[in-house]
Amino acid sequence: MLQRGSKTRVIAGVSIVAAGALALAACSSSDDNTTDGSSSSTAGKSGSFTYLSFAENTAIKGTLESLSSDACKDENASSPLKVTTQPQASFDQQIQLLAGQGALPSIFPAGNSPDVAKSLDKAGNLVQIGDELKALGKQDDIIPAAKSTIEKLYDGKDYVLPTEFNVEGFWYNKEIFTKVGLEAPTTWDDLVKDADALKAKGIQPFAADGKDGWPLSRLVGNYIYRSLGADALQAVADGTAKLTDSGYVEAAQKVADLGKAGYFGKSVGSIDYTTAMNQFLTGKAAMYYMGSWALSNFNDPKQNVIGADNIGFVPFPAVTGGKGSADELAANVGVPLAMAKSNFDDGAKAWLGCIADNYGAAALNTGGVITGFKVNDDATDVPALTKSVQDTIANTSNTVLWFEALFSPKATTTSQTNAALLATGQLSPSDYMSKIQADLG
Amino acid sequence: MKSVLGDRRAIFLLLAPALTVYSLIILIPVFWSLGYTVFEGNAINGFSFVGLDNIKQLFSDPDVHQALWFTVRFALVLTAVQVALGYLLALLYVFVLRKASNLIRTLVFFPVVLPTVAVSLLFQQLFEYAPRNGPVNSILNVFGIPSVDWFGTSTSSFWVLILMETWRSMGFYAVLLYAGLVDIPEEVLESSRLDGASGLRLVRHIVIPLSMPVLLSSIIFSINGTLKIFDSVIALTNGGPGTSTTPLTVLMFQTSFGYGEYGYGSAIALLLTMLCLIVTIFIFRSSRRDLTKA
Amino acid sequence: MTVIQHPSELRPAVKASSVSGRRRSARRPMRTIGNVVLAALLLLIVLVPLVWLVMGSFKTQSEFLNNPAFALPDSWTNFSNYSAAITEGHLGTYVRNSILTVFPALFLTILFGVAAGFALEVMVWKGRGTVLIAFLAGIMVPGQMILLPLFTIYFKLHLTGTLLPLIITYTAIGLPLTVFMMATFFRSVPREIFEAATLDGATIVRQFFSIGLPMVRNAIFTVALVQFFFLWNDLLIALTFTSSDDLRTIQVGLLNFQGQFGQIEYGPTLAAICLNVFGTLVIYLFLNKRVMKGLTAGSVKG
């Protein structure tokens, strides 16, 4: 009886293997018959220019696609653009998988955190874009402020393209300020005084997206840069300083104080991004810390009830007696793009050159997005608010990063998910910092 | 007959497709995943063998403790509420509504059909506190109760989650348990009624024992489902505030996919599977006892 | 343990209690009013969200952000959300993909699952208990665990640009529960029928198709209903295995209107959801009729 039982099991086992082999055979032969024409994520064998996009991000895709039919038509003819998508949450793993198979796409977002790109670069997978652009004579297509930010993010190296260049600061409602008799704050103490005056008049001082957390943790990071200097967070990344040091905890304390005084309005932790934006744009809050990617919302009359000419911008204020200055604009390069060495053929090189020359203008035209590329097309019609931001950027040479820029993904999540708890007093500043510090190691 | 029912070829023919697909797509990846448990690292940086370190870390990691506690608490409470409510509804269908119950049953089942995105959006709006009161807070205010910041504390978030999932699935369990109740022979009910049992007594001493098999199946089904809750939590609270409503599934997903720590993520998955296994075996054992009694 | 061949066998049971019930309720008219109130409350709790959904699909973004949740839409003929959902939202493509992945997977799950349930419960052989437990273990495994290995497998098989990964994964996911439930239902099927058929000369496989399958027809509809919605509403698996817009299913498509910062365009999202829900409502009502019959005809016993 036992023998008969094992025979069945053997048959079952063999059939499984057979089925597997059959599947492999069938599938490799039908390799060319993909049912819907979309390319798989394998390397562009026919020299196509493959772009793996965040599924949730349509801006870069849109700009690349418009380039492919317009300014980069020739490059597209010899190396057609092929776009595939991957949800942001599993993007890093997808990239790691592809890197392991030697199948990275031609161009792709450099991951959810700088760590991913850094490890790819260590393994020799990435094109040194800065050097390539210099070889093509196009290094001036990248604006200096963007270059500075990139080098700060990637340990002094330059292997990504800045598809956006966003500066962050406080946007404020000019009308409300005039009504209450306030001026744009230049120091932290001014900021707190202004907030106090607004609250006294029954106006919510700040609109903030506590649900996502990062608009609040940005404030902590910026205070650190202003009080401890532009190298303060690099020191933490290098291990020469700790977030639990008193200077750093003080920054968290200052943000917690804002929350304690009620300057963020009711239950900031349940306010999401759209709601916070709406609060500011309908005049319910006087100040809004945000990046310049919000310009597309500011310039949309349907969303912007208070009017674009009513919005002023002031960089994060200085801290009296601090080592940093308000000139050091907080900036980021959006979703930076990296390129795979394994796919860097002539077609890709040509694309790189074309992107460098034209991405700036294309992004501005298709989405009103300010990028780290020079805008080589003077004929673009730019809204006044955007122009003023562009001017501010042009006058900036030194930028600072954001709080989580150099953190590991785990520490980034910890920082962002607990930011609202810090602001509502449910988590003490020292606990907040020690939680993050624990995840940094 | 034995040779017919024991026909090897027939068994193979009938079983092979399911077993093959299941082994290739589920079993092998599961073991593959479990294999990661003794390694550390990811595809780019490579894997290094760490033995039982990941499993040891499970015991000392406060995040795992918090997630485990939340998962168990949530599963127990939700199962109790879901099944109890479903049972009450089923009793309603059988004893109170009777003929009319068909339409009601169908309509109450409806929330099961809705996608998670829809349900979570709905509940976010219903329980809104800032910047403006949602319907629930408005109704509370009518009764003089001050508005509650539902998503601001972990306790209230917990209960909103429970409420959302219950609303979603009570129709399902009602229908499932209804099947079991309807099976109870009418003669048994009639004779007990003649003996003087009615209402609550009837339910407690006759109906519940006789519908125990269905009840137990539902509980097993529910526990396994609620221990692995994922979509709903992400959509409604994203594990917040902070990490207070993060179940093990979300923690595992973040660890593997977000932080690239496959090994540790697989260890967390192993913990969850063990939990499901223990709970299921426990229920099975006690059910076998009940069935032999009945 | 009752063997119910025909749903009509149950009707006497229901009738008997309703006769006595009518006598009782005639004596207590309050009880009927109580029933009505109870039923009405129940319906309210369940259907009010549907109302919110429909109303919301006619609102503009600013109405969502600035007006209370249950305010009536400014315009009941504001179809811009629906057109946005269909055109920008590529709803047509997504519906096609959802149909192309869910229905074949459902068919295969049922076919393989019922056959396996039959083999495990009706057929007699050593080791069937172990195999059943192996299937049961599948219910306990968290789905996220298998995502990455599966992705690697599909990638190595060059399947990632097609809908096949979804179909295959959906089929496999549905198997544990289907096999388990089918085995349960087959337990209550009398063996004598198969004996008789064997005497008539039919092979067991033939018997499966011509006797076994029809016998559990109602159970099949029950399982089909449950699995259908589980697969149709699945988000995580579809999200992981759809690498381009052409391949997305409806659930993934609903995320289209959510930006990378977490912004949500409520109007088009709700419009897309409405279209999705009303579409599946038809399927639901159809299957539900069979299911209600099925659940009252086949007992789900431990």
Is A168:A291 a contact under the CB 8 Å cutoff?
Answer: yes
How far apart, in whole angstroms, are the C-alpha atoms of residue C263 and residue B169? 28
Contacts of residue C244 in chain A, CB cutoff 8 Å?
Answer: 38, 83-85
pLDDT in tens, B5-64: 777 888 888 899 999 999 999 999 988 888 888 888 766 666 788 888 888 889 999 999
Q: Which chains touch A (3 or more CB pairs under 8 A)?
A: B, C
Between C116, C141, C296, which is nearest B15 by CB? C116
* Mutation site, A52, A65, A270, A274, interface C, largest C CB count within 10 A: A274
Question: In sequence order, what are the residues at sequence separation of 6 or more whose Cβ sits closer than 8 angstroms to the Cβ of residue B285?
Answer: none
Mean pLDDT across chain A? 84
| CATH assignment of the domain containing B165 | 1.10.3720.10
Contacts of residue C146 in chain B, CB cutoff 8 Å?
Answer: 25-26, 29-30, 33
Structural domain count of chain B:
1
Between C149, C171, C198, which is nearest B29 by CB? C149
Mean pLDDT across chain B? 84
Q: Average pLDDT in the B262-287 region?
A: 84
Confidence of residue B167 (pLDDT cuts 50, 70, 90): very high
Question: In sequence order, what are the residues at sequence separation of 6 or more whose Cβ sits closer than 8 angstroms to the Cβ of residue C239?
Answer: A55, A87, A89, A90, C252, C255
Least confident window among A253-267, A283-297, B135-149:
B135-149
Partner-chain contact B16 A424, CB within 8 Å: no
Number of residues that this document lists for chain A: 441
DSSP B139-185: HHHHTTPPP--TTTSHHHHHHHHHHHHHHHHHHHHHHHHHHHHHTS-
Which percentage of chain A shows pLDDT scores above 90? 53
Tell me whether residue C61 is in a domain. no
- Position C262 scores a pLDDT of 63
Coil/strand/helix, residue C149: helix
Give me the residues of chain C with pLDDT under 50, please.
1-27, 298-302
Tell me whether residue B46 is in a domain. no
- Position C70 scores a pLDDT of 75
Q: Which domains does chain A have, with CATH numbers?
A: 49-165+334-390 (3.40.190.10), 167-332+407-440 (3.40.190.10)
How far apart, in whole angstroms, are the C-alpha atoms of residue A241 and residue C90? 51
User: Measured between CA atoms, how close is A323 to chain B, in angstroms?
Assistant: 32
Distance in angstroms between the alpha carbons of the first and the last residue of chain A: 59
Q: Average pLDDT in the A243-250 region?
A: 94
- Position C143 scores a pLDDT of 80
Contacts of residue B2 in chain A, CB cutoff 8 Å?
Answer: none
* Mutation site, B108, B122, B150, B252, interface C, largest C CB count within 10 A: B122
Residue type, position A340, single letter = A
Tell me whether residue B133 is in a domain. yes
Coil/strand/helix, residue C62: helix
Contacts of residue B139 in chain C, CB cutoff 8 Å?
Answer: none
Confidence of residue A33 (pLDDT cuts 50, 70, 90): very low
* Nearest chain B residue (CA) to C209: B14
- State the count of interchain CB pairs (< 8 A) between B and C: 278
Least confident window among A9-13, B107-111, B146-150:
A9-13
* Nearest chain B residue (CA) to A213: B242
A404 touches chain B (CB under 8 A): no
Which DSSP symbol is given to A342? G
* Nearest chain A residue (CA) to B21: A16
How far apart, in whole angstroms, are the C-alpha atoms of residue C214 and residue C211? 6
Is A331:A397 a contact under the CB 8 Å cutoff?
Answer: no
Confidence of residue A357 (pLDDT cuts 50, 70, 90): very high
Partner-chain contact C16 B8, CB within 8 Å: no
Partner-chain contact C144 B252, CB within 8 Å: yes
Residue B252 corresponds to which tokens in the numbers above?
A: 């595992």
Tell me whether residue C75 is in a domain. no
Q: Which domain holds residue C151?
A: 91-297
Q: Average pLDDT in the A91-119 region?
A: 84
pLDDT in tens, A363-373: 888 878 889 99
A194 touches chain C (CB under 8 A): no
- State the count of interchain CB pairs (< 8 A) between A and C: 98
How far apart, in whole angstroms, are the C-alpha atoms of residue C250 and residue C255? 9
How far apart, in whole angstroms, are the C-alpha atoms of residue C229 and residue C232? 5
* Mutation site, B36, B114, B252, B278, interface C, largest C CB count within 10 A: B114
Contacts of residue B23 in chain A, CB cutoff 8 Å?
Answer: 16
Tell me whether residue C127 is in a domain. yes
Coil/strand/helix, residue A332: strand
How far apart, in whole angstroms, are the C-alpha atoms of residue B85 and residue B183? 19
Between C49, C204, C299, which is nearest B4 by CB? C204
- Residue found by looking up tokens 């990435």 in the block: A126
Partner-chain contact C262 A86, CB within 8 Å: no
| CATH assignment of the domain containing C145 | 1.10.3720.10
Number of H helices, E strands in chain C: 15, 0
Please report the ipTM that was assigned to this predicted complex: 0.78
Is C140:B273 a contact under the CB 8 Å cutoff?
Answer: yes
Tell me whether residue B47 is in a domain. no
Tell me whether residue C27 is in a domain. no
Tell me whether residue C46 is in a domain. no
CA distances from A405 to A57, A90, A210, A221, A440 (A): 20, 19, 19, 10, 12
- Position A423 scores a pLDDT of 94
User: Measured between CA atoms, how close is B156 to chain A, in angstroms?
Assistant: 13
* Mutation site, C22, C61, C148, C296, interface B, largest B CB count within 10 A: C148
Confidence of residue A108 (pLDDT cuts 50, 70, 90): very high
How far apart, in whole angstroms, are the C-alpha atoms of residue A260 and residue A428? 11
pLDDT at A43 over 60: no
Confidence of residue A379 (pLDDT cuts 50, 70, 90): low
Between B15, B44, B243, which is nearest A119 by CB? B44
Partner-chain contact B152 A424, CB within 8 Å: yes
C155 touches chain A (CB under 8 A): yes
Contacts of residue B242 in chain A, CB cutoff 8 Å?
Answer: 417-418, 420-421, 426-427
Tell me whether residue C5 is in a domain. no
- Position A3 scores a pLDDT of 35
pLDDT at A2 over 60: no
- Position B92 scores a pLDDT of 84
pLDDT in tens, A174-206: 999 999 999 999 999 999 999 999 999 999 999
Q: Average pLDDT in the B168-196 region?
A: 82
Which percentage of chain A shows pLDDT scores above 70? 89
- Position B74 scores a pLDDT of 95
Q: What is the pTM of this model?
A: 0.81
Confidence of residue A217 (pLDDT cuts 50, 70, 90): very high
Structural domain count of chain C:
1
- Position C25 scores a pLDDT of 41
Q: Which domain holds residue B183?
A: 62-293
Residue C136 corresponds to which tokens in the numbers above?
A: 């049961």
Phi and psi (nearest 5°) for A261? -75, 0
Partner-chain contact C229 B117, CB within 8 Å: no
Q: Average pLDDT in the A115-119 region?
A: 86
Least confident window among A249-263, A304-318, B114-128, C185-199:
C185-199
Least confident window among A135-149, A241-255, B243-257, C234-248:
C234-248
- Residue found by looking up tokens 């005497």 in the block: C199
Number of H helices, E strands in chain B: 16, 2
User: Measured between CA atoms, how close is B60 to chain C, in angstroms?
Assistant: 22
